[in-house]
Amino acid sequence: MSGRPVLQTTDPVVRPDESVIEGLDYWRTLEIKQQPTWPDTEAAAAASAEIATLPPLVFAGEVDQLRTRLARAAEGKAFLLQGGDCAETFAGATADQIRNRVKTVLQMAVVLTYGASVPVIKMGRMAGQFAKPRSSDTETRGDVTLPAYRGDIVNGYDFTPESRQADPRRLVQGYHTAASTLNLIRAFTQGGFADLREVHSWNRGFAANPANQRYEGLARDIDKAIKFMEAAGADFDALKGVEFYASHEALLMDYERPMTRIDSRTGTPYNTSAHFVWIGERTRDLDGAHVDFLSRVRNPIGVKLGPTTTPDTMLRLIDKLDPEREPGRLTFITRMGAGKIRDALPPLLEAIKGADALPLWVTDPMHGNGLTTPNGYKTRRFDDVVDEVKGFFEAHRAVGTNPGGIHVELTGDDVTECLGGSEHIDEETLATRYESLCDPRLNHMQSLELAFLVAEELANV
């Protein structure tokens, strides 16, 4: 969140053009993917209608501010750090778990800022990442087939008919859980907890490990620098809080559409469920509902690009989502896989050099590197995550474009979901603390390890 939220109360109020409202609902005429089948459509409509009456979760002024920050990152003058849960759960929205995720992102940002001398935009996959795309509409265990788990905002994870039935009441619960999460994030980031002079305290509560020891050394260096500047008469009031933005995949239209409001300053639509929303690999059809809907909102938009993405598809996405070529509007989040990124990414970067657009390029080193162990755990190898990050930077250096950010699934808890890292997590260890309901996340130690690696790569840009 920004330090000074801009409320939508500017007078006089700008009335929206009727065509704007009509355009926002054009997606309903198009093919749409990855939506649940509600057993009671009237109840789902009532839940969406209730959400439409509730206050916005973020403000248009904050969204505009983020757009300017992302524009600088696209120019190579800042770096985006986006991290958080693969799929937030209602039960996981506790003060301790939220605090630990925020602390981990803050620690990573300090490592990047100090190690690479670059401003870092801090963004959480938080306060709305409740819906998940699925490769199949159903899940089968033994002789029983039930609807797939689509995230807590749709249905429950327990493998029972009652739990797996889509429940529209969860839409409203998702809103309130997001609101309480954002409230706590604002308190942490604006109430002194995020003060740069508290860098040591961010390590408290985490298990001792080599990454923490390295972080403590960096924190001591920061302490020395701050004490020197204080002695020289510097005013550090600006260090008391940080900007922290919220993001999630804009997947569930029964939630995203009622959260989209008309800004009273400009008469234009903003998705007020998050500052930044992205379109996934499974829903980025050029003529599909998700791309059309998000082309009409003022938020910065992300798009996931897999290894089969062609330059033509990329350029058409730009034309659809960023026709005005607005700085900070469009972010491409590449998810290629460690073994493919060095071949798949350079043609896209070469094509963008010949275009009139400047999107922000971000790497997602998680989703292209999934595997399933013989004992049935979905996991990722930390070495593959690291290798994809290195391939991302190598491709940008070779082509002469700006590597602008990293997008990771992480937790502040000491889970055992990804193989490897300094802890040498192996297949047997996975079972000890595997807590994710969907995709495996980096734990606190692995997240810090990755931050130090990215800082080294950034220093060589």
Task: Kindly state the DSSP code that residue 264 receives in the 8-state scheme.
Answer: T
Task: Kindly state the DSSP code that residue 427 receives in the 8-state scheme.
Answer: T
Nearest to 453 by CA among 425, 430, 422: 422
Note the helical H segments in 54-201. 60-74, 95-116, 161-164, 169-190
Residue that wins the pLDDT comparison between 213 and 448: 448
Q: Which two tokens stand for residue 124?
A: 């959480």
Question: How far is the C-alpha of 74 from the C-alpha of 88, rounded, in Å?
Answer: 28
Rounded average pLDDT over 247-267: 96
Residue type, 400: G
Angle at 417 between CA 414 and CA 420, to 5 degrees: 90
DSSP 234-246: ---GGGS---EEE
Exposure of 455 in the CB half-sphere (CA atoms within 13 A): 21
Residue that wins the pLDDT comparison between 206 and 334: 334
List phi, psi (to 5°) of 115.
Answer: -75, -30
CA distances for 65 relative to 17, 62, 452, angstroms: 24, 5, 28
pLDDT digits (tens, 9 = 90+) for 231-253: 777 666 666 789 999 999 999 99
Rounded average pLDDT over 443-458: 92
pLDDT score of 63 more than 60: yes
Rounded average pLDDT over 355-368: 96
pLDDT digits (tens, 9 = 90+) for 103-122: 999 999 999 998 888 999 99
Confidence of residue 94 (pLDDT cuts 50, 70, 90): very high
pLDDT score of 12 more than 70: no
Confidence of residue 207 (pLDDT cuts 50, 70, 90): low
Angle, to 10 degrees, between the axis of helix 382-399 and the axis of helix 341-353?
Answer: 30
pTM above 0.85, yes or no: yes
Exposure of 74 in the CB half-sphere (CA atoms within 13 A): 24
pLDDT score of 410 more than 80: yes
Rounded average pLDDT over 353-365: 96
Question: How far is the C-alpha of 393 from the C-alpha of 404, rounded, in Å?
Answer: 10
pLDDT on residue 78:
97
Residue that wins the pLDDT comparison between 86 and 239: 86
pLDDT digits (tens, 9 = 90+) for 22-61: 889 999 999 999 999 999 999 999 999 999 999 999 999 9
Max CA separation in the chain (angstroms): 72
- What phi-psi label fits residue 84: left (phi over 0), alpha (psi between -120 and 50 degrees) or beta? left
pLDDT digits (tens, 9 = 90+) for 116-173: 889 999 999 999 999 999 999 999 999 999 999 999 999 999 999 999 999 999 999 9
Considering the chain, what percentage of its residues have pLDDT values greater than 90?
A: 77
pLDDT score of 10 more than 50: no
Average pLDDT of the chain, as a whole number = 92
CA distances for 226 relative to 41, 84, 231, angstroms: 58, 29, 9
Q: Which two tokens stand for residue 21?
A: 């409202």
Give the other-Cβ count within 10 Å of 438's Cβ.
18
pLDDT on residue 115:
85
pLDDT on residue 1:
63
